[in-house]
Structure 1
Amino acid sequence: MNRPERKGASLISEVNRTNVPYGTLAIWFLGQESVIVKGDGITVYIDPYVSDYLDKDGPARSYPAPIVPEDIVGADLCLITHEHEDHMDAGTLPIFHEQNGGAPIMAPACCKEPLLRMGVKESQILVADNSRQTELLSKLEITVLPAAHEQLEQDGDGFHRSVGYVLKLNGVTLYHAGDTVIYPGLVEQLEKIKPDVAMLPINGRDFFRRERGIVGNMNYREAAELAVRIGAETAIPLHYDVFARNAEKPGNFVDYMYEHFPEQKIHVMARGERFVYVSGQAFLDRD
């Protein structure tokens, strides 16, 4: 008797089988800010938080992740935005590294020691450096942007504690903001980049969450205004659904966009959904 394929294994099989033409990217949403991005044969995991790992004081997930760490195979790269456990997941990354040993993990400098303690080999850890662009796997260009998880924080060597990533892959530019508020200079940097896809946190911040030790991000109004200001072709909200005490309704983002910027393209992703972004580059004759 053949057993049905597990849902998570089926999703990863879909990731590994998906091939997208030039000018497009395939994106899968795993919850919070955890996504998979694929283009030109390269599969990138960003902040893969798919375990039930919690520290002793951590809140429970509102729902199980669409996959489990053991499902992840075929990855080429992992990007970590900062050290919080719902982004640098101690329940996922050791297994990710074991099963995808050739895939480097790029993360802020402050994450290096925790990653080493998780068993990640030093040779596979890349420091996220916003002073230069990085080309990986011959087809992927990464620009690191500082992120202000309420505040910009740097170590003695000038490396930022939190970052976002700009990926140029397969003719598409994608900005994954990580956890951040809008700080002086961010808008200007992104206006120059003008990403095709902007993936932005919307859960906001307030005094009472901060009092409970919950560090915040831009809210849905700020995320909507930012997406429009920087000329993002499509905006995708993130960081609103995994923890009940730090949640937001993505419908508020949709309503605000529709009322104020009805021509701005947006997409709210279902859990485990494959969304294929198609840019104008997909229709150009490359000969």
Structure 2
Amino acid sequence: MNRRSFFKWSGFGLVAAAIGGLGLREAQAGNRYYTGPISDHFDGKVFFNPGGEEPRGFTDLLRWQLGGGKIDWPKAVAAADFVTTRPEPRVEGSRLVVTMVGHATLLIQTAGLNILTDPVWSERASPVSFAGPKRNNPPGVAFDDVPKIDIVIVTHNHYDHLDIATLKRLIERDSPRLVTPLGNDTIIRSDVPRLEADVMDWGDRIEIGNDVTIHCEPCHHWSARGMGDRRMALWAAFVLETPGGKIYHIGDTGYAEGKHYRELKAKHGDIRLAIMPIGAYEPRWFMKAQHQNPEEAIEGFRLSGASFGIGHHFGTFQLTNEGIDDPPKALVTAMSAAGIGNDRFKGLRPGQQFEVPRAGA
């Protein structure tokens, strides 16, 4: 199989080349995105998961891609099967409404703030517009129907989470405040010099107004945008401390034996809502360290002690082997086995909303 056929066949191949660096070790003398002190998760050049696993390399990537087992997705969702929603302009006080746009893009509305996570309105999650994973469904909220955004959270720099084209549109329209882990601001500023960013390390906290505080917390993942920049920008989860309770948001993570969920509960106590990934997990031998499956997500939800949950990261871009409906089906099975009702944890489809009850309701 030649290189062109490999990229076309894989659906993930081109992006794997770009965001995975094809498994090449860092070739530069230093870090192109971030310079800072050595810590328990930064060795002076690259970031790492303490006690965790590095992403697999090019040989394993080829083994996966050439090994078969990929389930075909429909080329596009039929128009009758997708929903578009026009969110409220603002949600005040302790009300909490979350709208799924698609994949890891969610609109969180509470305390009079509009907060958008990992915004991607582009047609492809890719460094180029002509190849790479393509949207299987349109965004659940048309860009022109998105209310004025106050805060954008970018959890890490993979193309299905950090989309420069969308960030440019949002910044030109709304001038939001952007919150992101170390190094990602450098990537964005190269194309968006007007960026106003709060750059956070694990353990940092910032106050953003309206009695809302954002905490930057660990998760088990990795980063890269191109050849040779693997793990040169940090990845993170976030806790939003609001008047109506705490919201835990993870863009991408491996389960990592539940370590970070236990730490979350010990540090933050009661969580009103946990938003966590449930897709892009097959084959497990390749994906397990970096992408949790629905069963692991539900176990993490249980360990976190959160009152309610939302699953995301499925059904929009085909990145891995599982079928388009496999994550929500596996989620139902995992919830049933854990005794968690569908009123507590929802795998939202694009356009769907969840008005989250107050904890204990």
**Which ranges of structure 2 fall in alignment gaps of 5 or more residues?**
1-82, 224-230
Q: Distance in 2 between matches of 1:257 and 1:74?
A: 35
Q: Distance in 1 between matches of 2:285 and 2:119?
A: 24
Q: Distance in 2 between matches of 1:139 and 1:278?
A: 20
Larger Rg: 2
Alignment TM-score, normalising by the size of structure 1? 0.80
Q: How much has 1:35 moved relative to structure 2?
A: 0.4
Q: Distance in 2 between matches of 1:32 and 1:278?
A: 23
Evaluate the alpha carbon distance shift between residue 190 and residue 215 of structure 1 in structure 2; reply closer, same or farther with a 3 A threshold.
closer
1:162 maps to 235
**Which ranges of structure 1 fall in alignment gaps of 5 or more residues?**
1-6, 152-157
1:55 maps to 127
- One-letter amino acid of the counterpart of residue 183, structure 2: C
Among 168, 186, 201, the alignment partner of 1:129 is: 201
Three-state SS of the structure 1 residue aligned to 2:356 is: strand
Matched, 1:279 2:358: yes
Evaluate the alpha carbon distance shift between residue 198 and residue 52 of structure 1 in structure 2; reply closer, same or farther with a 3 A threshold.
same
Deviates further, 26-35 or 242-251: 242-251
2:271 maps to 195
1:43 maps to 114
1:251 maps to 329
Among 99, 103, 111, the alignment partner of 2:184 is: 111
Three-state SS of the structure 2 residue aligned to 1:15 is: coil
Evaluate the alpha carbon distance shift between residue 236 and residue 115 of structure 1 in structure 2; reply closer, same or farther with a 3 A threshold.
same
Aligned positions of 1:1-287 closer than 5 A: 11=86, 14-16=87-89, 18-22=90-94, 24-53=95-124, 54-56=126-128, 57-101=131-175, 103-122=176-195, 124-149=196-221, 161-183=234-256, 185-192=259-266, 193=268, 194-203=270-279, 205-206=281-282, 210=286, 216-246=290-320, 247=322, 248-262=326-340, 265-280=344-359
Q: How much has 1:254 moved relative to structure 2?
A: 1.6
Three-state SS of the structure 2 residue aligned to 1:58 is: coil
- One-letter amino acid of the counterpart of residue 173, structure 2: Q
Q: How much has 1:44 moved relative to structure 2?
A: 0.5
Deviates further, 216-225 or 238-247: 238-247
Q: How much has 1:251 moved relative to structure 2?
A: 2.1
Evaluate the alpha carbon distance shift between residue 280 and residue 226 of structure 1 in structure 2; reply closer, same or farther with a 3 A threshold.
closer
Evaluate the alpha carbon distance shift between residue 200 and residue 239 of structure 1 in structure 2; reply closer, same or farther with a 3 A threshold.
same
Q: Is the 8 A contact 1:109 1:159 kept in 2?
A: no
Q: Distance in 1 between matches of 2:116 and 2:319?
A: 26
Q: Is the 8 A contact 2:181 2:233 kept in 1?
A: yes
Q: Is the 8 A contact 1:144 1:163 kept in 2?
A: yes
User: Which fold has the larger relative contact order, with Cα–Cα distance below 8 Å and residues 6 or more apart in sequence?
Assistant: 2
Q: How much has 1:274 moved relative to structure 2?
A: 2.5
Alignment TM-score, normalising by the size of structure 2? 0.65
Q: How much has 1:131 moved relative to structure 2?
A: 2.8
Q: Distance in 1 between matches of 2:205 and 2:355?
A: 26
Q: Is the 8 A contact 1:20 1:26 kept in 2?
A: no
Is the strand fraction higher in 1 or 2? 1
Q: CA RMSD in A?
A: 2.9
- One-letter amino acid of the counterpart of residue 88, structure 2: V
Q: How much has 1:205 moved relative to structure 2?
A: 3.3
Q: Is the 8 A contact 1:51 1:65 kept in 2?
A: no
Q: Distance in 1 between matches of 2:341 and 2:284?
A: 35
Q: Is the 8 A contact 1:30 1:66 kept in 2?
A: yes
Q: How much has 1:55 moved relative to structure 2?
A: 2.4
Q: Distance in 2 between matches of 1:159 and 1:195?
A: 31
Q: Distance in 2 between matches of 1:208 and 1:218?
A: 9
Three-state SS of the structure 2 residue aligned to 1:259 is: helix
1:154 maps to none
Q: Is the 8 A contact 2:222 2:235 kept in 1?
A: no
Three-state SS of the structure 1 residue aligned to 2:164 is: coil
**Count of residues in Structure 1 that have an aligned counterpart in Structure 2:** 261
